[in-house]
Amino acid sequence: MNILRGCAFILASTGSASLMLLSHTSYADTNPSTQTEKTLSPYFFVKSNDPSIDQLPLKSTDVKVNITGVIADVVVTQHYRNEGTRPLEAKYVFPASTHAAVYGLQMQIGDRVIEAKIREKKQAKAEYVQAKSEGKSASLLEQERPNVFQMNVANILPGDDIAVKLHYTETIIPTSGKYEFVYPGVVGPRYNGATESVNGQSPSGVKEPWVQTPYLKTSEANSNTFAMDVNIHTPIPLQNINSTSHQVNIAQPDKQHANLTLPPNTTNGNRDFILNYSLAGDRIQSGTLLYQGEGENFFMTMIEPPKRVTNAEIVPREYIFIVDVSGSMGGFPLDTAKTLLRNMVGNLRPTDTFNVMLFSGGNTVLAPHSLRANAENIDYAIDAINQQYAGGSTELLPALRQALSMDKIDQNLDKTVRSRNFVIITDGYVTVEKEAFDLIRNNLNKANVFSFGIGSDVNRFLMEGIAHAGEGEAFIVTNDEEAKVAAIKFKQYVEKPVWTHLSLDIKGLDAYDIQPQKLRDLYADRPIVVIGKWRGKAQGSIAVSGLTGYGKANITAHIQDSMISPDNAALRYLWAREKIAELDDYTKLFAGENDQAIQQITELGLQYNLLTQYTSFIAVDHIVRTKETADTVNQPLPLPQGVSELAVGAEVPSTPEPEFYLMFALAGGMGAYLRRRKQQVRKPDADQSNTH
């Protein structure tokens, strides 16, 4: 029996708060794992007193972005300088877009530029280790997650200024006519203990040393600078250009062009850089892009769906809100989550039902069954939410398993067939993305899954992957005001009719290797994107059809030779990235790995010159530059804006977890709820006896 449910029963029947306190204390005292468990991943940076070692070798990050139509090409330049007196090896963990196709790397030492080669991951690592031992300067870029990379730069000599440039491309898919480009600023601390991993390993035993990353305390200034230079060019006039994350300088020479830059010497790389813009009339740049290569041709079609129509005959829905209340959510993230949850619960329809699960080291639920979305139950839930605070570890997988096994609304009270929807609210600072995707994907028949990432620098790979696996949508909330907007957007998103049973019909064009292989249901004002290869002549049409609230619907895009352009060369990388994501996102990459999928991913990475889980970029200077052994330094990261220091280096307390404190707040209300239930059951019996 759920601990909260058991305690509520005790209180309801005895009225004694002391019994719950006894149960609470007993749990903490008898659970040895909570007394010894520590978060194994992040730790606070402690600067050494050795002046010969420069422990902050990363001096600046410069980002140049060119957005042409719906394709963004990004060049990230990291400047490493050794201001100490001994050779260094620098290690730096940094994020990238979840949609990034990383296709190039160069290392520059003085006037020499070394072009990196793509290699199988183990081979690249071996070449790097050998170059380092031989005293050669070398750079190694590895993917730890599709949105987390590690850069190693070996043998940075005193006085050296080494620039490492990486190139990636991605598509910008608009939602409701709004375009958003995001450059992630910093990798948030990842919880790597208890059931999530053991002794620094994932549940299946794969070591993930990248998560053992040092972080600066919030009182320590981040010394390296962050520069951003964005150029936008579209055939449709631009409007409403702004950044919700940073102060920017905006220049717009004409209606189709814009340039955005950060002020000089900016150091606030502790949050995502977010750029928003729209096109005149809230249009989107739908249509087809074609690229004709030497051996293969590629196309991408973006089809704008019609405006959604209203439909009063909506199937009643059940919502299970799964809320992270762990230590990393302390402060701004949890405050924002409360605002979000209050707004979402408060906006439910009377025909809806809901429940709330809170999780950190353990998990608790608001009620044994989902509650009707009436005023009394909504007030009860909001009151419980308002009294919650953060602390403890982040056990996401047990919470998901518990939620998937939960009973629906009491079938004795409600026989209605309902659409079940899970809403996961977290910052995503865990290392179990693949396991979470598999768990959700294997239970698709039980619920649709939506995700809300809370914070200035959330784990977008987890949030977007959860939504992808659950055939829902991901929402990212970076501040309190956005929480209110996101709650309204979520309500609009799920209450309107969707396109279902989508099908793709390509005529005239000899297309193959199309991604995605199956079109998902369409939930919102978001275009349908299809990418693939083609042979022969560029002619024909691509149509998407489906069922709406008013019957069948069809949208068609026409194709012709004039759409072929060498400027669309990025399509080859984008297609390969989509193919890799299909193989990678939902394949167990730990114990019992899928050897065939791994081989395919590796071959795609080597063929298309892409960074993947199994391929890396390696650049080696042929000159032997030192005979000294380099000192290795891990570049410390700033904590993401708004993230509490509880997320880093803290021991998971042997004192009770926050959800047990919540029982004090909930127990009285739960007892009253159960008593009301009993009275409601007894009342019909009493009424019946009075009629005799």
For the stretch 143-181, pLDDT in tens is: 988 888 999 999 999 999 999 999 999 999 887 778 999
CA 16 – CA 346 distance, rounded (Å): 32
Asked if the structure places residue 672 within a domain, the reply is no
pLDDT in tens, 367-376: 888 888 888 8
Asked if the structure places residue 586 within a domain, the reply is no
Asked if the structure places residue 51 within a domain, the reply is yes
Residue 5 identity (one-letter amino acid): R
Asked if the structure places residue 10 within a domain, the reply is no
In a shared domain, residues 634 and 623: yes
In a shared domain, residues 467 and 519: no
pLDDT reading at 570 higher than 70:
yes
CA 330 – CA 640 distance, rounded (Å): 12
**pLDDT at residue number 232:** 96
**pLDDT at residue number 679:** 54
In a shared domain, residues 479 and 513: no
Q: Which domain holds residue 487?
A: 315-494
CATH of the domain at 147: 2.60.40
**pLDDT at residue number 102:** 96
CA 222 – CA 383 distance, rounded (Å): 39
Scanning 309-395, the segments in alpha helix (DSSP H) are 332-346, 375-386
Residue with tokens 């794992």: 33
In a shared domain, residues 76 and 140: yes
Asked if the structure places residue 66 within a domain, the reply is yes
In a shared domain, residues 505 and 483: no
> Could you say which of 435, 466, 494 is where a domain stops?
494
Lookup: tokens for 401 = 């398993």
DSSP 561: G
pLDDT in tens, 184-211: 888 777 766 544 444 444 444 445 776 7
Q: How many structural domains compose the chain?
A: 3
Residue 396: partners with Cβ closer than 8 Å, 6 or more residues away: 196, 324, 359, 426, 430, 432, 436
Average pLDDT (61-88) is 94
In a shared domain, residues 443 and 456: yes
In a shared domain, residues 108 and 190: yes
Contact at 8 Å (CB) between 163 and 83?
Answer: no
Scanning 298-454, the segments in alpha helix (DSSP H) are 332-346, 375-386, 396-405, 433-441
Asked if the structure places residue 123 within a domain, the reply is yes
Asked if the structure places residue 341 within a domain, the reply is yes
Residue 165: partners with Cβ closer than 8 Å, 6 or more residues away: 75, 76, 77, 78, 104, 105, 106, 107, 108
> Side-chain half-sphere of 517: how many Cα atoms within 13 Å?
6
CATH of the domain at 327: 3.40.50.410
pLDDT in tens, 310-322: 544 455 678 888 9
Asked if the structure places residue 241 within a domain, the reply is yes
Lookup: tokens for 412 = 């004795």
Residue 558 Cα distances to 89, 291, 306, angstroms: 53, 16, 17
pLDDT in tens, 349-386: 787 888 998 888 888 888 888 888 888 888 888 888 88
> Could you say which of 532, 547, 568 is where a domain stops?
568
Residue 278 identity (one-letter amino acid): S
In a shared domain, residues 77 and 151: yes
In a shared domain, residues 488 and 540: no
SS3 assignment for 630-670: CEEEECCEECCCCCCHHHCCCECCCCCCHHHHHHHHHHHHH
CA 72 – CA 97 distance, rounded (Å): 11
pLDDT reading at 524 higher than 70:
no
Residue 481: partners with Cβ closer than 8 Å, 6 or more residues away: none
> Could you say which of 494, 522, 547 is where a domain stops?
494
In a shared domain, residues 79 and 225: yes
* CB neighbours of residue 599 within 10 Å: 12
* CB neighbours of residue 454 within 10 Å: 30
In a shared domain, residues 471 and 563: no
In a shared domain, residues 543 and 436: no
Residue with tokens 């990379």: 149
